[in-house]
A and B are shown apart, each in its own frame.
Chain A
Amino acid sequence: MTAPDRPLVRARDVHKAFGSNEVLKGIDLDVAPGETVVILGPSGSGKSTFLRCINHLETIDQGSIEVDGEQIGYRLRNGRLDRLSDREIARQRRKIGMVFQQFNLYPHMTALENVIEAPVGVHGQDRGEAVRYARELLIRVGLEQKIDAYPRQLSGGQQQRVAIARALAIRPKLMLFDEPTSALDPELVGEVLATMRDLANQGLTMIVVTHEIGFAREAADRVVFMDGGHVIETGPPDEVLTNPSHPRTRSFLGRFI
């Protein structure tokens, strides 16, 4: 039922407040299939909150978000909008992979067990098949030596690459990255960004919240700049990053030069 030119992610007038603190003040965003969108902006601009709204980790107060032709958290039928049950929301999340700032690997499971947990337990995949694909993914992120290691035995960069493999294992239509390199030591950032660049080049649809301007320049198809709960500028990276039109974008980028 998805029209060929319908965006994979379609957010309209998204508002979100925590108590009296209004974090999102009407966000509109389209993400086309295969597109890599990097969201930049100062701390507190609402970019992480918006990302978390896309898979309903946060509920929104106004507006709507659609992923792959389905409204997240709700169902529209004959003009009537119903909230979905927890079980149906869980089902919607199964096509969205997410990578967290703090990695959030399951500490009591090995790298391989982390990767196959959702495919086997949630998607009902055959275990042998899941293990085969998990090995393939762990090799792809450069961790074939660490398949049986527990998260505690891995460096931050290795943990984050396992987390990326874990998100890929569910064969997601959309990948969300929530500041994936912010908790890493500087010398480990590169290995994670390289993995993400590969994914972007392979045509995976990705939304990346980050502070890595370099990554935005090299890997993004489009950069979205957020400030104070609004999208204030969006466009191809060369335009937004080299020749920003909004003064806030200019002052933000100025700090990185």
Chain B
Amino acid sequence: MTDTAHLAARLPRLAEDEQRDVRRAHRPFPFDRVVLWGVTLVLAGGFAYIVAINPNFEWPVVGKYFFDPTVMQGLTVTLGLTVVGMAIGIALGLVLAIARMSKDRLAWSLSALFIWFFRGTPLLVQLIFWYNMSTLFPRISIGIASWDTNDLITPLTAAVLGLALNEAAYMAEIIRGGLLSVDKGQAETAEAFGMTRGRALRRIIIPQAMKSIVPPTGNQLISMIKATSLVSVIAMADLLYSVQSIYNRTFEIIPLLMVAVLWYLLITSILNIGQSAIERYYGRGDRGSANAIAPAVPDAVSEQESAR
């Protein structure tokens, strides 16, 4: 006999109750899903076929230039600019976010002004501006030290400055949003335990804010990779610039653009994988449900449904 048989609450059974047990149920055949899948696969297959056989894509040319040294150099510049721009952007963004949240009017105002300016003007304009800084300030001096602006602002520094400062303005708002999403009680608890503000931020607030900071940051990083293509206007040889320099010679425009497109897609795909790993790490306290009361209450009733 089963364990439940001697429970007072057991009521009489009908013969058909066994047949009505929902565990025996069959799933309805999903005609609509099958049809949609079929149509989609046919369309996708057709499109892939057209792309594959269209001689204008010149796939052999794509293959030939995919690992071309010029392309590789451009790829390095794109990745380098992305990493440096993003790193400075995040670090400066964190400082700006904290300043924007502080009670200090001066810090608050400076941060607000920075964000207002660098978010409010197009990145392309900012890049051209940095590149032409020497027409505005021919010499830059700090104290008695003084430099020719053209020595300081090379295409590389102009590109890094433009990308990083613009990014910092966006990251500041993302980080601020993340910090605000953390329960106020957490900061108060850290305070009550005698933590300094810096330590409370580092150990308690930021790790919890990361959960809402990481997804939009991943977005920013992907935007940044593509935004680096703008630096080709100030003669920085990034990925796009390098394929352009090849097709300006060979006129194989489409296949070389395909080289760039495939590389951009490859990088962003790798970044997506990295992003999910980071999200899993910062979500580690979320495992298990709030009501997972283990053996706290040895309650007879709650154990019954598992024993049949």
Give the B-binding residues of A (Cβ under 8 A).
55, 57, 86-87, 90-94, 96, 98, 100, 102, 104, 106-109, 117-118, 121-122, 145-146, 149-153, 155, 157-158, 170, 187-188
Contacts and interface: CB of A to CB of B under 8 A. Distances in A.
A155 B288 CA distance: 11
A233 B219 CA distance: 60
A91 B194 CA distance: 6
B292 A153 contact: yes
A90 B284 contact: no
Contact of A104 (B188, B194, B199): B188
Contacts of A107: 208, 285
Nearest to A167: B193
B194 A153 contact: no
Nearest to A151: B285
A61 B203 CA distance: 32
B204 interface: yes
Contact of A57 (B191, B291, B297): B191
Nearest to A98: B192
B207 A157 contact: no
Interface in B183-205: 183, 185-186, 188-189, 191-197, 199, 203-204
B23 interface: no
Contacts of B195: 90, 118, 121-122
Closest 4 CB pairs of A and B: A153-B288, A94-B194, A93-B194, A104-B189
Interface of B: 183, 185-186, 188-189, 191-197, 199, 203-204, 207-208, 282, 284-294, 296-297
B293 A155 contact: yes
A57 B188 contact: yes
Nearest to A92: B194
B194 A152 contact: no
A90 B296 contact: no
Q: Which of B282, B289, B291, B293 has its CB near the most chain A CB atoms (within 10 A)?
A: B293
A183 to B, nearest CB: 11
A100 B192 CA distance: 10
Given A155-B296, A157-B296, A158-B296, A122 B287 contact: no
Contacts of A155: 291, 293-294, 296
Contacts of B294: 145-146, 153, 155
B193 A122 contact: yes
Nearest to B282: A108
A102 B184 CA distance: 11
Given A57-B192, A100-B185, A104-B188, A86 B296 contact: no
Contacts of A104: 183, 185-186, 188-189
Contacts of B285: 107-109, 150-152
B286 A93 contact: no
Given A151-B285, A155-B296, A158-B296, A90 B194 contact: yes
A169 to B, nearest CB: 10
A153 B291 CA distance: 7
A138 to B, nearest CB: 15
A10 B120 CA distance: 55
Q: Which of B194, B197, B292 has its CB near the most chain A CB atoms (within 10 A)?
A: B194
Contacts of B193: 93-94, 98, 117-118, 122, 170
